[in-house]
Amino acid sequence: MPNVTTPQTTTSEKTDTKSKRGASSTERIFSKDVTKYGYVALPNILVRGQARLGLSTTQFNILAQLLSYWIDPERPPFPSKADLARRMNIHPTTVRINIATLEEKKLVRREQRKTTAGDWNSNIYHLDGLVDALKNLAPEFEEERKKHLAKKALTEQRSRKDETAERARQSGVKRRR
C-alpha cells in the first residue's frame, strides 16, 4: 500500500474557516470591527422603490436615519431633529420640512412628547405608513422578479444552445482533419 500523506490543517486555520462561515453576510462584507457597532436593515423595496415612493434623497436619508433608531417594533424611534440634522450634515429646518413632507405622504406620523416637567421633548416617529407603503409595493417587485427570472432562464437556455452548437462545430472541425 503506498504511503499517502494528507495536508494537515492547523487549529487556527480551522477556527478561521469556521468563523468566516458562521459570520453573517453583512459581517463578511464589512468586518466584525464595523458591524459590532450595529447596522440598519433597509428593505430592498425601500432602496429600489425610492422613486416610486416619491422620495427625495433627503427624505430617503431621514427614513434611513429613523430606521437606525427603530430597534424594538413596539417602541417607535424618537430622535431629535437636531440629532438627525447632525448625522446628515444638514440644517434642522431642512429636517423639519422634509419630515412634514413625509407626513403628507403618510409615510411618517409624528407624535409630540412632553417631559415630566411639561416641556416639549423630541417627537415620536411612527413608521407604520412606511411599512404599509412597502407592503403595497411588494406585489410590483414580485412581478418584476418573475420577469427577471424568466429572462434569465431564456438567456441561460440560449447560452446552453450556443455551447451545444459550438461543441458540435468543434467536433466537426476535428473530424475533417
Q: How would you write the pLDDT of the chain (177 residues) with one tens digit per residue?
A: 445 444 454 555 544 544 556 888 889 999 999 989 988 889 999 999 999 999 999 999 999 999 999 999 999 999 999 999 999 999 999 999 999 999 999 999 999 988 888 888 899 999 999 999 999 999 998 888 888 888 888 888 888 888 888 888 887 766 655
Judge if pTM exceeds 0.85. no
Cell 431621514 belongs to residue: 62
Domains within the chain, CATH numbers bracketed? 14-176 (1.10.10.10)
Q: Report whether 78 contacts 126 (CB < 8 A).
A: no
Q: Report whether 129 contacts 106 (CB < 8 A).
A: yes
